[in-house]
Amino acid sequence: MSLQAILLVAAALIGLGLYGALSQKSFVMLLMGLELMLNGVLLIVVGCWSDSAGGDPKGQLLAIIVMAVMAVDMAIGFALVTAVYRKRQVDVIEGLTTMKH
């Protein structure tokens, strides 16, 4: 697969993620959009690394570490969404006026 094709797919992922993050009102959809954008950035990094290193697999460890950090980040995000829903019975962003109460 060529670098141009990888960058095109990554740009599509980032675009879809940005649209999902900005257009949706649900916390879960917002987190899914952020996850898509992070996956697009990761695809760009791995694609450029693979192209510049001539296919050397040393960059795979970095990609695995970034995916693990993304999984932890999304788990914390979903835990926060669950806590907010249990406390206030709100599942949309506009339902939160302040985080004090």
- Is the residue at 101 inside a domain? no
Total domains, the chain: 1
Provide the domain limits for residue 25. 3-94
For 75-95, write each residue's pLDDT tens digit. Answer: 888 888 788 778 777 766 655
CA distances from 49 to 42, 44, 69 (A): 10, 8, 19
- Is the residue at 8 inside a domain? yes
The answer, yes or no, to whether residue 100 has pLDDT greater than 60, is: no
Domain CATH for 41: 1.10.287.3510
- Is the residue at 25 inside a domain? yes
- Is the residue at 9 inside a domain? yes
- Is the residue at 99 inside a domain? no
CA distances from 98 to 5, 40, 77, 94, 95 (A): 44, 32, 18, 10, 9
For 18-75, write each residue's pLDDT tens digit. Answer: 998 888 777 778 888 888 998 899 888 888 888 887 766 666 777 888 888 888 888 8
- Is the residue at 19 inside a domain? yes
- The whole model's pTM is what? 0.74
